Amino acid sequence: MVWSGNKNTKKIPDIVIEERLPKYLRALTRMQENGGVERVSSEDLGKALNYSAAQIRKDLSYFGRFGKQGQGYDVKKLVQRLREILGLENKQWNMALVGVGGLGRAIVGYGRFAPQGFKIVAAFDHDPAKVGKKVGTLVVKDMKELGDTIKRENIQIGIVAVPASAAQQVIERLEEAGVKAILNYAPITAPRGKAKIQDIDPVLKLQSMTYYLKQDDQIGKK
């Protein structure tokens, strides 16, 4: 190995992985594509993302030294390095969707997964009325086929788009089938299990914003 290792044994804060590196990547990619920017300083990137320059330098330093003093960072190199770190390089990740209601269908139609290397390769539902029907280009499969399909199609990520009442069970079945990462759109918190879970619930986001709204403005008087 060229650079005598990342001498850095220090613990990387969770939030660096869970939030900031992906945002750095998103912002840098956008700068490349739109502005044709070839170099950024930590200050530039910080301004684009509402972070301090120091924060960005510190975050990147956990993974090596890829800036040049006096110049900043080479955008192309940094993008590539971030992609490697996040496990996005030379890879396509296969995903299975569970739950083909309105939400599930919207997820299949969402245009930003595939270009980023995330492909939905199978869809499941336990409703016999939906099994066999098409969603986009996929034929909906019965839940019985979950385990086999996940192995056969080399699926590493599950997407849960079922009602709250079914979500816990679906997550367990995905974990049993060997899925290691789950994107959960159902409004529940699952017990910690084998898989890494990320939750998406827009209602929670709204409910946190109303805390800040409530003092200055309400509708009751109408």
Partner DNA sequence: GTATGTGAAAGTGTTCACAGCG
Partner DNA sequence: CGCTGTGAACACTTTCACATAC
Residues 52-81, interacting with a second copy (CB under 8 A): none
CA distance from start to end of the chain: 68
> Which does residue 61 touch among a second copy, DNA, none (CB within 5 to 8 A, set by kind)?
DNA
Task: Count the residues of the shown chain that bind DNA, applying the rule CB under 7 A.
Answer: 29
Q: Is 6 in the site for a second copy (CB under 8 A)?
A: no
- Give min distance, CB of 200 to a second copy, in A: 6
From the list 22, 29, 37, 41, which residue makes contact with DNA (rule: CB under 7 A)? 41
Ordered DSSP codes for the chain: --SS-----SPPPHHIIIIIHHHHHHHHHHIIIII---EE-HHHHHHHHT--HHHHHHHHHTT---EETTTEEEHHHHHHHHHHHHT-TT--EEEEEE--SHHHHHHHH-TTTGGGTEEEEEEEES-TTTTT-EETTEEPEEGGGHHHHHHHTT--EEEE-S-HHHHHHHHHHHHHTT--EEEE-SS--PPP-SSEEEE--HHHHHHHHHHHHTTT--STT-
Name residues contacting DNA, limited to 161-190 (CB under 7 A).
none
Pairing of strands 39-40, 72-74: antiparallel
State which of positions 42-71 bind DNA (CB under 7 A).
Answer: 42-43, 51-55, 57-58, 60-61, 65-71
- What does the DSSP 8-state code read for residue 191? P
| 19 makes contact with a second copy (CB under 8 A) | yes
* Residue 154 interaction partner, one of a second copy, DNA, none, beta carbon < 5-8 Å per kind: a second copy
Candidates 70-78, 110-118, 127-135, 136-144: pick the segment binding a second copy (CB under 8 A): 110-118
Residue from 17, 143, 166, 177 touching a second copy (CB under 8 A): that is: 17
Contact 28, 40 (CB under 8 A): yes
Q: Which does 43 bind (CB under 5 to 8 A by kind): DNA, a second copy, none?
A: DNA
Q: Which does 121 bind (CB under 5 to 8 A by kind): DNA, a second copy, none?
A: none
Q: Which is nearer to DNA, 11 or 222 (CB)?
A: 11
- 167 binds a second copy, rule: CB under 8 A: no
Task: Name the residues that contact DNA, by CB under 7 A.
Answer: 7-8, 11, 13-16, 40-43, 51-55, 57-58, 60-61, 65-73
